[in-house]
Structures are given as structure tokens and as C-alpha cells.
């Protein structure tokens, strides 16, 4: 009897537990809230569209080059006679760098000088003859007009030959001046490619490499190629910060001094240059730098959270909310930061959008 009573009691406890558990399950699987006509209602976080200026930073590689650089070649076929400087030498404008020698040029100048002196003597004689005949011809019947004209023609011919000799002598002197190489501007000799006695010339053997390369180091150019998409955000006098690998902890600054105003056909980018004053000689031409351009638009635009823009196969859009219902609005993205992005489209100040856009929010979805 006791066993039968215990069995009935156990069965009753199991039934009560089953009923209790069934109630728990039905409570936890509450269906989603429905709006009018059974439409599903979504709860989303929203924001109000407002105009602003997005300031972004464009990190882009750049290169340092010398403000002025020149390769110095020999202008005539000659041999290196003397070298006054070497790699690393600091030189001033007009300083003597090297002297060359060409014996045949010296012989040409000597010949030109001799011809010049000879023609000077001939012209002096013909000029004196003409002047005597001219003075004598003032007495009627002493000198015929034909003789006077012949003397004048001889004088003019000798003068023309004298002028040609002077020009030839000056030409040989100018060519001899090419045997002296001087610095066109102050700077540092960055390369020397010849030794004493080497054959050099303007063409052929001896002209493969320049005699010297001169670079100005106290004034450099920072060259940046700005992509087409960012051309409108770059202005003259903008300050740019940059770093180089040689000094990773130091940040250098410079201002935009020049821009090409045209795009490179291959890179589709605009070349801009910044003046970098390198009085301490820490920076060197050829260094690769990482430049940081601050891009700030001239006009204000709509700046929205990055999560609000949906980029899907159907296009780029945002979920606008009107009368508690969603509307997809196509937009075009501009610049971006880590959390914000520029958008362009049929947007008005005060429009409400979902802060986190989604493809699940179709047109007409009810929003709470």
C-alpha cells in the first residue's frame, strides 16, 4: 500500500514539473512585435544629418631631391690635368673644380693670334694708304677717282678680314676656357668619376659619366605625387609633415611651394614640391619620406558615421527614416576616416538616417 502511494506521489511531481517547464519554454519564445496589419517593427539607432568639414590625413610616399643639381661634363675632347676637389667637398659659386689640357687647342689659339696680328698690320697699311690718297685728291687733277675707289675697297676688305680674325681668336679663347671647370652654384660634390690623366669629352668615349655631380644640400625639394582624387584638397602654403627612416622619431615640416597644375599621364597624379631648408645637413637627396597631407575641403559637406553607409551589390545607399518607415537613398562616398565618411546625394539638413545601415531594412520597413 505504501509503495503504491509513493508511486502516485512521484507521478504527480513529474507531471507538475513538466507543466512548469512547458510554461517556461512558451514564455521564452515570445514572437517579435508586430505593427499594424502584422508588419514586423525594427528598433534602430538613428542620427540627424548635418553638414560639416571632414579633415582627413593622407599618408603618401615622397622623395627628397636637391633643390639644384647638375652633372658637369667636359665640353671639349681633352685630358684631366688637375683635380681641385673630391667627393664631399663643399664649394662656392665660381670655385675652380678641375683643369683640363688639349695641346691642339693651344696650337689653334697661337695660329689665330698670329693671323690676327698679321691682318692688323695689313689693315693699318691699307687704311693709311687710303687716307693719304684721300688727302691728296683734294687737289684737283692729282689723284683719279678710280684710284681712290680702289684704295677704299682694299681698306674695307682688309677690315672685314681683320674682324673675322678677331672672331676666330675669340672663339679659340672661349674653347680654351672650356678646359677649366668651375662650380655654377654653391653646393657639395656628390660624385667624382675621373682621375688624373683620364680622357674626357662631350661625346664618345670619355663622356659616359660626368666629371663631377654637384648638389645643393642646404635647400632640398620634397616631391609628392598627389592622386587625382585628392587634387581639390591641396592648396599652396599648406603645411605638410613628413618622416624619414633615418630619424624615425623626428617629424619634419615644410610648406607646399609649387604644384604642376597638371596630371601625369601614367600615374594620373599631380606633382607638388615643398621647400625643405636643410641647414644642419641631416637630410640628404634621395631619401624616401612618408608625408602626411591634411585634406580639408573648401566647402562643407555631409559627414556621417561610416556604419551608416551600406555598400552592397545593389549599390551604395543609406537608410533614411520618414514617418517611422525606411527609404533607401543612393549616395556617393567621398573621403573617409576611421569612423566618418563624406557622402553626396539628395540629402537635406535634418534628415534622419539609421546609424547602422543594413540590407535587411527594405523600403517601407517600420521603425520604432
Q: What is the mean pLDDT of each run of 10 residues along the chain (368 residues)?
A: 37 32 35 51 82 82 95 92 94 95 87 91 91 83 81 91 92 89 95 92 83 95 91 85 94 93 88 94 94 77 87 88 87 82 87 86 80
Backbone angles phi, psi at 182, to 5 degrees: -120, 160
Nearest to 206 by CA among 84, 73, 101: 73
Contact yes or no for 254/242 (Cβ under 8 A): yes
Helix (H), strand (E) at residue 350: none
Q: Which residue has the cell 528598433?
A: 43
**Interacting residues of 336 by C-beta distance below 8 A, sequence separation 6+:** 56, 306, 342
For residue 328, list its beta bridge partners: 319
Angle ∠(252,185,274) on CA atoms, nearest 5: 25
**R_g of the chain computed on alpha carbons:** 45
Residue 361, helix vs strand vs coil? coil
Cell of 9: 506521489
Compute CA distances 179 → 99, 252, 270, whole Å.
Answer: 6, 43, 42
pLDDT of residue 21: 34
Contact yes or no for 157/164 (Cβ under 8 A): no
How many Cβ atoms are within 10 Å of 64's Cβ, its own excluded?
21
Compute CA distances 228 → 25, 232, 263, 340, 366, whole Å.
Answer: 61, 8, 7, 21, 42
Cell of 254: 615644410
Gap between the Cα atoms of 346 and 328, Å rounded: 11
Gap between the Cα atoms of 361 and 354, Å rounded: 10
Taking the mean position of all CA atoms in its chain, how far away is CA 358?
41
pLDDT of residue 233: 82
What angle, 0 to 180 degrees and rounded to 10, lies between the N-to-C axes of helices 103-136 and 145-177? 160
Strands, E, within 103-246: which ranges? 180-182, 187-192, 199-200, 212-215, 219-227, 239-244
Cell of 275: 621647400
Contact yes or no for 329/280 (Cβ under 8 A): no
Q: Which residue has the cell 678677331?
A: 166
Gap between the Cα atoms of 168 and 116, Å rounded: 9
pLDDT of residue 333: 85
Contact yes or no for 129/151 (Cβ under 8 A): yes
Q: Which residue has the cell 525594427?
A: 42
pLDDT of residue 298: 59
Gap between the Cα atoms of 183 and 268, Å rounded: 37
Cell of 178: 672650356
How many C-alpha atoms does 325 have within 13 Å on its Cβ side? 8
Cell of 307: 556604419
Number of residues assigned to the chain: 368
Set out the domains of the chain in order of their start, with CATH numbers.
Answer: 36-54+300-367 (2.40.420.20), 59-67+216-296 (2.40.30.170), 103-177 (1.10.287)
pLDDT of residue 297: 64
pLDDT of residue 29: 31
Contact yes or no for 183/112 (Cβ under 8 A): no
Amino acid at each position: 500500500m505504501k509503495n503504491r502511494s509513493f508511486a502516485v506521489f512521484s507521478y504527480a511531481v513529474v507531471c507538475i514539473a513538466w507543466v512548469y517547464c512547458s510554461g517556461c519554454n512558451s514564455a521564452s519564445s515570445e514572437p517579435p512585435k508586430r505593427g499594424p496589419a502584422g508588419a514586423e517593427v525594427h528598433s534602430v539607432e538613428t542620427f540627424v544629418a548635418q553638414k560639416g568639414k571632414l579633415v582627413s590625413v593622407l599618408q603618401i610616399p615622397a622623395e627628397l631631391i636637391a633643390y639644384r643639381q647638375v652633372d658637369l661634363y667636359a665640353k671639349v675632347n681633352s685630358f684631366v690635368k688637375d683635380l681641385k676637389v673630391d667627393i664631399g667637398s663643399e664649394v662656392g659659386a665660381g670655385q675652380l673644380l678641375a683643369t683640363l689640357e688639349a695641346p691642339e687647342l693651344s696650337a689653334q689659339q697661337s695660329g689665330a693670334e698670329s693671323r690676327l696680328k698679321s691682318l692688323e698690320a695689313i689693315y693699318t697699311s691699307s687704311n693709311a694708304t687710303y687716307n693719304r690718297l684721300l688727302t691728296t685728291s683734294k687737289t684737283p687733277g692729282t689723284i683719279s677717282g678710280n684710284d681712290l675707289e680702289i684704295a677704299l675697297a682694299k681698306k674695307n676688305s682688309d677690315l672685314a678680314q681683320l674682324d673675322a680674325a678677331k672672331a676666330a681668336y675669340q672663339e679659340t679663347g672661349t674653347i680654351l676656357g672650356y678646359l677649366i671647370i668651375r662650380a655654377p652654384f654653391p653646393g657639395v660634390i656628390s660624385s667624382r668619376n675621373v682621375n688624373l690623366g683620364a680622357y674626357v669629352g662631350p661625346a664618345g668615349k670619355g663622356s659616359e659619366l660626368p666629371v663631377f655631380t654637384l648638389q645643393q644640400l642646404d635647400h632640398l625639394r620634397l616631391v609628392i605625387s598627389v592622386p587625382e582624387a585628392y587634387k581639390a584638397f591641396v592648396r599652396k602654403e599648406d603645411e605638410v609633415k613628413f618622416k624619414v627612416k633615418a630619424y624615425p622619431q623626428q617629424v619634419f615640416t615644410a610648406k607646399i611651394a609649387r604644384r604642376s597644375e597638371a596630371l601625369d599621364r601614367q600615374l594620373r597624379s599631380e606633382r607638388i614640391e615643398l621647400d625643405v631648408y636643410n641647414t644642419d645637413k641631416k637630410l640628404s637627396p634621395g631619401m624616401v619620406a612618408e608625408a602626411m597631407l591634411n585634406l580639408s575641403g573648401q566647402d562643407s559637406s555631409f559627414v556621417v558615421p561610416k556604419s551608416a553607409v551600406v555598400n552592397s551589390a545593389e549599390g551604395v545607399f543609406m537608410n533614411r527614416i520618414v514617418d517611422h518607415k525606411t527609404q533607401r537613398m543612393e549616395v556617393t562616398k567621398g573621403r573617409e576616416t576611421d569612423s566618418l565618411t563624406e557622402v553626396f546625394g539628395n540629402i537635406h539638413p535634418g534628415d534622419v538616417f539609421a546609424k547602422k545601415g543594413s540590407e535587411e531594412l527594405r523600403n517601407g520597413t517600420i521603425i520604432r
